[in-house]
Each structure stands twice: as C-alpha cells, then as structure tokens.
Amino acid sequence: MVERGIGPRFHAWVQRNLPTRESFESNRWLKPIAHRILHSSLWRMTRRSVPRGVALGMFTGILIPMGQIPASAVLALPLRANVPAAALTTFFTNPLTTPLLLLLYYKVGGWVLSLGGAPAVVASTAGAGGGWLHWLAADVGLPTAVGMAICAVLGGVLGYAIAALGWRLWIVRKWKKRSARAA
C-alpha cells in the first residue's frame, strides 16, 4: 500500500537533507572540533535537548536571515541543544512564510515603538533625495528590526514551551498505553 500526502514525502526529504553525525565526521573543516560536534548529547532525542533545539531553531530562524542551519548547529554546541531539532525548526521561515513574517515583525516593532509608519504612497511622492529608499531604511527598517528581535525571543520561548509540553504529552500517552497493555 502506497502512502500519499505531504507527510511521508516531507519525512523522506528531511531524512535526506538533515545533517548527520557522519556528514560532520567526514567534513575536513570540522576535524579540529569533531569531538565537540559529535558528542552524543547533541544528537540524542531527550526531554531537555529537543526543546532547547526547537527554541534555538526558532530564535535563529527568525533573527538570522541567511545561514540559519549552520548558525543553529554552531549555537547548539554550548547550549547542549539537539542539532537535528534546531536545524529542522529553522525551516518554518521559508519563501512562503517570509512575507507574512516580515509584516508581523513590522507590526510588532511599530507597536512597540508606537510608530504609525509612513505609507508607501507618501514616501514615493517625497521627490528627489531617494524618498522610497529613505522611507525603507528609516521608517520601515527600525520597526522591522525591533519586531524581529522581539519575535525571535518570544518565538524561542514559545518553541521551548510547546516542545516541552508536546514531549510531556507524548510520554504520558506512552505510559497510558503501556499500563493499558499490562492491565
């Protein structure tokens, strides 16, 4: 029987593209620090390392526009976070979600800074002197950057809480199934 839908395809894609211990082990650039990268606590799925990895992936996925996976993998070392969970969680920022996330960052930053923000029509009629570029850098850039930082911290905290709660619910369900089989 052939499984259909996005779930099995996504799972197969993740299995093909996630970095593995062996890929780090065989990389010549990582040989000097291989003992740190290959530590088993970074690759094992535990109740502490997975929520850390999810939080780290959310934080780097929001705050770092490019190179999110390498950044989350490097930051996972001192934080003892699960590297695959951190790398996988960064995929929530993708070409489909980025425009909506940028709008969210702008709105959150504008709310925090209490700015109304100049509409694009006003900026384009500003005339000579690079009106729209000035609007983009001055009126949109600061609220977006502030909103991005706030959303990165909140996303990390929320990601940790959701992953820890999900882990706990999964364990409780396993215990209930085990006790039902034993009874």
Q: How many domains does the chain have?
A: 1
Whether 63 maps to a domain, the answer reads: yes
Residues sharing a CB contact under 8 Å with residue 136, sequence separation 6 or more, in sequence order: 123
Whether 173 maps to a domain, the answer reads: yes
Whether 31 maps to a domain, the answer reads: no
Whether 140 maps to a domain, the answer reads: yes
Distance CA 176, CA 65 (A): 42
Q: Using one digit for the tens of pLDDT, what is the confidence trace for 83-97?
A: 889 999 998 888 888
Distance CA 86, CA 163 (A): 12
Across the range 14-30, mean pLDDT stands at: 75
Domain membership of residue 113 as a residue range = 39-182
Whether 1 maps to a domain, the answer reads: no
Across the range 168-172, mean pLDDT stands at: 91
Whether 75 maps to a domain, the answer reads: yes
Whether 68 maps to a domain, the answer reads: yes
For 42, 60, 94, the CA distances from 90, given in Å and listed in that order, are 17, 7, 9
Whether 8 maps to a domain, the answer reads: no
Residue with the bigger pLDDT between 66 and 165: it is 165
Q: Is the pLDDT of residue 118 over 70?
A: no
Q: Using one digit for the tens of pLDDT, what is the confidence trace for 47-79?
A: 888 999 999 999 999 998 888 888 998 888 888
